[in-house]
Amino acid sequence: MELKSIVEGIERSDTRSVARAISIVETESLHVERNLIIKSIYPKTGHAGIIGITGPPGIGKSTMIGNLCKILSSKKIKVSVLAVDASSPFSGGSLLGNRIRMQENLSRYGVFMRSLANRGLNGGLSRAVWDAVDILDAAGNDFIIVETVGAGQADLDIVNLADTVIVVLGPGLGDQIQAIKAGIMEIGHIFVVNKIDREGSFIAIKDLEETLAFSTQGEWKIPVYGTNSLTTEGYDDLIRGIMDHSELAKSSMEFRKKRYREEMRIVMQDEVSRILNRKFKDMILNGSELEKLLESKTDPYSAARKILKGSTVKL
Amino acid sequence: MELKSIVEGIERSDTRSVARAISIVETESLHVERNLIIKSIYPKTGHAGIIGITGPPGIGKSTMIGNLCKILSSKKIKVSVLAVDASSPFSGGSLLGNRIRMQENLSRYGVFMRSLANRGLNGGLSRAVWDAVDILDAAGNDFIIVETVGAGQADLDIVNLADTVIVVLGPGLGDQIQAIKAGIMEIGHIFVVNKIDREGSFIAIKDLEETLAFSTQGEWKIPVYGTNSLTTEGYDDLIRGIMDHSELAKSSMEFRKKRYREEMRIVMQDEVSRILNRKFKDMILNGSELEKLLESKTDPYSAARKILKGSTVKL
């Protein structure tokens, strides 16, 4: 597939072209192709509402996304899903099965879904996730749902990428209260207590509402919804909340600016890392500092400073 | 506490000094103090055997570490433990409880234990983990056990840091076979099937042995041990395996060289990131490229290249 036909395919929402483009942005060595694709499609971006969904593992995020996609699709709203997975060799097997089931489920409603192995800085959201969102945006999606797995920095970074962040918690808050204290309160625009058929969910909602009572995100008053993913109870309210917040976020120039700044920061860091990694390789492999280190005549920080000091890098 | 007394404290194995030094290397803003500490203690490093323990969550790694520490301590072998945790706000609560229990358990045998939030590049092992290992090494430990949680790139990166990598798996391999295929086979020097009282453990050991039959790590033939953490069955063999491999690794110049190279790479990347982040901030915040991006007159990659092109960074 030629780049030109991939770009044209994205613009007419062709699933194969979208999938191919995402594979390209995931492949480090194809950075020239990636730059061309993003450059070509970028003027078409800016339409989609980007919804981040985060919460602890096993809380029912995937099922919730399935329900949201089913309801949105039935209203002729075009939605795609990106699942951002931690890249441990141990999570491979079980996660893969889960993702295949999710994909099969979503394809029934004509929803495109892709899982991305996250290899971002600090375990945060990687550049490829931003690129994939741009591609899905240019492909004419009304909403792009980005799920993070609840196992790394990406769970907090999602606030930089998404217009609307939904934090999904469970009935027995307990340990999750720690998460709320650890910065989750600051990133959530919408809170959901899932599995409201379970014991303790009424109290969990009340607790959350009290905790959030004095929290606002600008002019937005943070709501708490209860959902039951089996009966889809509570989903109408949740979807109304998503729509309302998405509208508000889109109209905020401040938010857009913050988002572009973050995207540029990630792209620049990525670009510089690539250049420096090449340069480092020579510096370290051919350096006399390594020999000194082996003979315990220096330490890594002194060695690094000696190599770096005075050297200039042309970017 | 003054730096000088911290360094002296480390060298006479004072727990408070060690703990304080690790806190310092974990604090980004204290990089000057960190450099001084590492420089001062570095000549004392190189004695400890570094044991990495990795495997899927819930497989009993913490309990196994407790048993190993108990047995090693009873033989007057000095051992400390670093637990490298993924830094999600959601894992905070439950993990914290687990770590406190682990700490209480280990302190009964006089074993120092510390958990580190991992914020490394690509979710891999961060510089602070390497620094903490250096500190514990200088403090006169015979062995330093580094546990990764089975939820990120750190699970693979451990092979760069540890002399001996132990991969812990469970009786019903199933999904774990995926992990073995996904690169775990290449990093493990010792494989353990834990919970051998459970059904399927005999087959799991046989399966692993067959899979590993033609694998060696240099002159080392990779063993598979079965353990029961309740009865400590199998621990004698495991500890003999650890000792044997540790001796072998220590004598390998090639391995030491690889390790120093990796440490320098991480330290240099860290140093350069710090310098560039400062520089980036100005570049992005004051740039006209951001305005162009907001007006959709450019894309992030073109903007980044324009800013970076021709600019030189003095390191």
Q: In Å, how far is B302's CA from the nearest CA of chain A?
A: 7
3-state secondary structure of B218: coil
Q: Look up residue A313 and give its two tokens.
A: 């890098």
Helices B61-74 & B235-250 angle (0-180, nearest 10): 80
In this structure, which amino acid lies at residue A131?
D
Cα(B26)–Cα(A17) distance, integer angstroms: 44
Measure CB to CB from residue A92 to each of B57, B182, B277 and give the nearest one.
B182
Following DSSP, what letter does each residue of chain A receive, concatenated? --HHHHHHHHHTT-HHHHHHHHHHHH-GGGHHHHHHHHHHHGGG-S-SEEEEEE--TTSSHHHHHHHHHHHHHHTT--EEEEEEEE--TTTHHHHHHHHHHHHHHHHTTT-EEEEEEE--GGG---HHHHHHHHHHHHTT-SEEEEEE-SSSTHHHHHHHH-SEEEEEE-SS-TTHHHHIIIIIHHH-SEEEEE-TTSTTHHHHHHHHHHHHTT-EETTEEPPEEEEBTTTTBTHHHHHHHHHHHHHHHHT-HHHHHHHHHHHHHHHHHHHHHHHHHHHHHHHHHT-HHHHHHHTTSS-HHHHHHHHHTT-EEE-
Chain position carrying tokens 């055997």: B49
Please list the residues that pair with A82 across neighbouring strands. A114, A146
Query: Does A33 reach chain B within 8 Å, measured CB to CB?
Result: no
Mean pLDDT score across all residues of chain B: 85
Query: Does B289 reach chain A within 8 Å, measured CB to CB?
Result: yes
Is the pLDDT assigned to residue A313 strictly greater than 60? yes
**What pLDDT is recorded for position B182?**
59
B152 neighbourhood in chain A, CB within 8 Å: 86-88, 123, 151-152
pLDDT tens digits, A130-155: 999 999 999 999 999 999 876 667 77
**B134 confidence band (pLDDT: 50, 70, 90):** very high
Please give the C-alpha separations between residue A188 and each of A159, A170, A260, B267, in angstroms, as whole numbers.
8, 15, 20, 35
Q: In Å, how far is A38's CA from the nearest CA of chain B?
A: 7
Cα(B180)–Cα(B174) distance, integer angstroms: 10
Mean pLDDT score across all residues of chain A: 85
Query: Does B122 reach chain A within 8 Å, measured CB to CB?
Result: yes
**A20 confidence band (pLDDT: 50, 70, 90):** very high
Measure CB to CB from residue A46 to each of B174, B296, B302 and give the nearest one.
B296
Domains of chain A: 46-127+139-252 (3.40.50.300), 263-308 (no CATH)
- Pick the residue from chain B with its C-alpha nearest to A303: B264
φ/ψ region of B201 (left if φ > 0, alpha if ψ in -120 to 50, else beta) reads: alpha
Work out the average pLDDT over A245-266: 83
**What pLDDT is recorded for position A51?**
97
Cα(B171)–Cα(B158) distance, integer angstroms: 23
Rounded (10°) CA dihedral A174, A176, A178, A183:
-160
Query: Does A303 reach chain B within 8 Å, measured CB to CB?
Result: yes
Least confident of A35-39, A162-166, A276-280, B292-296: A276-280
- Of the two residues B313 and A126, the one the predictor is more confident about is A126
- Pick the residue from chain B with its C-alpha nearest to A42: B299
DSSP 8-state class, residue B182: I
Contact A299, B276 (CB under 8 A): no
Judge: A90–B314 Cβ closer than 8 Å, yes or no. no
How many beta-carbon pairs below 8 A join chains A and B?
A: 257
Rounded (10°) CA dihedral A242, A248, A253, A254:
-70
Q: Is B253 exposed, middle or buried (0-12, 13-18, 19+ CB in 10 A)?
A: exposed
**A74 confidence band (pLDDT: 50, 70, 90):** very high
Is the pLDDT assigned to residue A182 strictly greater than 70? no
Is the pLDDT assigned to residue B92 strictly greater than 60? no
Contact B279, B313 (CB under 8 A): yes
Query: Does A110 reach chain B within 8 Å, measured CB to CB?
Result: no
CA angle B233, B236, B238 (to 5 degrees): 95
Work out the average pLDDT over B219-225: 91
Cα(B279)–Cα(B302) distance, integer angstroms: 19
**What pLDDT is recorded for position B181?**
63
- Pick the residue from chain A with its C-alpha nearest to B289: A264
**B176 confidence band (pLDDT: 50, 70, 90):** low
**Using CB atoms and an 8 Å cut-off, which of residues 163-192 of chain A contact chain B?**
174-179, 182-184
Q: Look up residue B116 and give its two tokens.
A: 């580190």
- Of the two residues A117 and B81, the one the predictor is more confident about is B81
Q: Look up residue B47 and give its two tokens.
A: 């004695």
pLDDT tens digits, A261-294: 888 878 887 777 777 777 777 766 666 777 887 7
Rounded (10°) CA dihedral A244, A250, A255, A256:
160
Work out the average pLDDT over B200-228: 86
Work out the average pLDDT over A190-200: 91
- Of the two residues A225 and A100, the one the predictor is more confident about is A225
DSSP 8-state class, residue B181: I
**What pLDDT is recorded for position B187?**
83
Backbone angles phi, psi at B284, to 5 degrees: -80, -45
- Pick the residue from chain A with its C-alpha nearest to B277: A269
Query: Does A286 reach chain B within 8 Å, measured CB to CB?
Result: no
Contact A211, A185 (CB under 8 A): yes
Chain position carrying tokens 């009424």: A202
| C-alpha of B307 from chain center | 36
Work out the average pLDDT over A173-200: 78
B39 neighbourhood in chain A, CB within 8 Å: 299, 301-302
Query: Does B276 reach chain A within 8 Å, measured CB to CB?
Result: yes
ipTM surpasses 0.95: no
pLDDT tens digits, B149-169: 766 677 778 888 999 999 998
Q: In Å, how far is A175's CA from the nearest CA of chain B?
A: 5
**A242 confidence band (pLDDT: 50, 70, 90):** very high
**What pLDDT is recorded for position B260?**
82
Judge: A88–B183 Cβ closer than 8 Å, yes or no. no
Q: Is A185 exposed, middle or buried (0-12, 13-18, 19+ CB in 10 A)?
A: middle
Q: In Å, how far is A166's CA from the nearest CA of chain B?
A: 14
Is the pLDDT assigned to residue B214 strictly greater than 60? yes
Measure CB to CB from residue B307 to each of A123, A179, A268 and give the nearest one.
A268
**Using CB atoms and an 8 Å cut-off, which of residues 65-94 of chain B contact chain A?**
86-94
Query: Does B117 reach chain A within 8 Å, measured CB to CB?
Result: no
Cα(A232)–Cα(B270) distance, integer angstroms: 48
Measure CB to CB from residue A271 to each of B253, B290, B304 and give the nearest one.
B304
Measure CB to CB from residue A314 to each of B130, B283, B312 and give the nearest one.
B312
Cα(A315)–Cα(B9) distance, integer angstroms: 44
**A185 confidence band (pLDDT: 50, 70, 90):** confident
Q: Is pTM beyond 0.95 here?
A: no
Measure CB to CB from residue B151 to each of A122, A151, A280 and give the nearest one.
A151
Cα(A181)–Cα(A123) distance, integer angstroms: 20
Q: In Å, how far is B244's CA from the nearest CA of chain A?
A: 23
Percent share of chain B, pLDDT over 90: 42
DSSP 8-state class, residue B84: E
pLDDT tens digits, B226-283: 999 999 999 999 999 999 999 998 888 777 778 888 888 788 877 777 777 777 777 6
Neighbours of A211 (CB within 10 A): 17
Judge: B38–A299 Cβ closer than 8 Å, yes or no. yes
- Pick the residue from chain B with its C-alpha nearest to A45: B296
Tell me whether strands B220-221 and B216-217 are parallel, antiparallel or unpaired.
Answer: antiparallel
A299 neighbourhood in chain B, CB within 8 Å: 38-39, 42
